[in-house]
Structure 1
């Protein structure tokens, strides 16, 4: 049975550069292919896996284009940017949720491919990310107190990602 950690846990592990990526396995002397499990085109490391890989880049690009953002592309730079990515607090929350969910689902997809050879295209992971965030945003909106003229986080989410 494959155990996958929660999204926040993956973010903490990735932020500390503790992900067991192929570059790490090779540095430990293990005999593994160096190529990325998702694209097979480049050597796998944290930066490549989450931002430079064509597979991951399509997912991340979908969300930032809908939000009309141009975030940095380096892993460390994105972490710094996430501290204050937008003026609107709802958009900030949405961006942070997207980041966590995308990292989690990319990691999960990578592990699934390694252990079961089942592959999902980026569009499927985009849909799963949207569903994950929608399920998280709904209860947050129910507890949210907003000033007149401001949107609930769910309304903000739907303004960008309504089907």
Structure 2
């Protein structure tokens, strides 16, 4: 049920191979690894997907949308959470989670390149639009 480019980004995130600022710093490409979204912490995979206030708020909105309380396993433990077993269509929720990670990544890139940070509700709207397009969840 996933969009292929969403699956690819999540696969990179699970492998911790996204081009985050901590990786660029490690290779000497940049000299500053501060997160572009919160301007407070070093950007790494965990911060980008959970620790950043923007991502945390996006995840909270997502949890309310699908009526689930996700443990902190998130993308690194996708499909292993007992909380997901309550859903008859677990694949639908996982596909929406994949879309959420993808849209957080695209927001990060937009923030880095265009210096624009949309509100977390915009990310959720993009996830919902993707879901509607693929008939995954109903609002």
Q: TM-score, normalised by structure 1?
A: 0.73
Give the distance between the partners of 1:65 and 1:19, measured in 2 at CA.
27
Question: 1:21·1:45 contact (CA, 8 Å) conserved in 2?
Answer: yes
Q: Does 1:119 align with 2:117?
A: yes
Give how far 1:86 is off: 2.1
Q: Name stretches of at least 5 consecutive residues in structure 1 with no aligned partner.
A: 138-153
Instruction: Calculate the aligned-residue CA RMSD, in Å.
Output: 2.2
Q: Which has the larger radius of gyration?
A: 1
Q: Where does residue 146 of structure 1 map in the other structure?
A: none
What is the number of residues matched between the two proteins? Answer: 136
| 1:12-161 map, 5 Å | 12-75=11-74, 78-79=77-78, 81=80, 85-90=84-89, 92-137=90-135, 157-158=137-138
Shift of 1:43: 1.0
Q: Deviation above 6 Å: which 4+ runs of structure 1?
A: none
TM-score (norm 2): 0.84
Matched residue of 1:89: which SS? coil
State the 1:17 CA deviation: 0.8
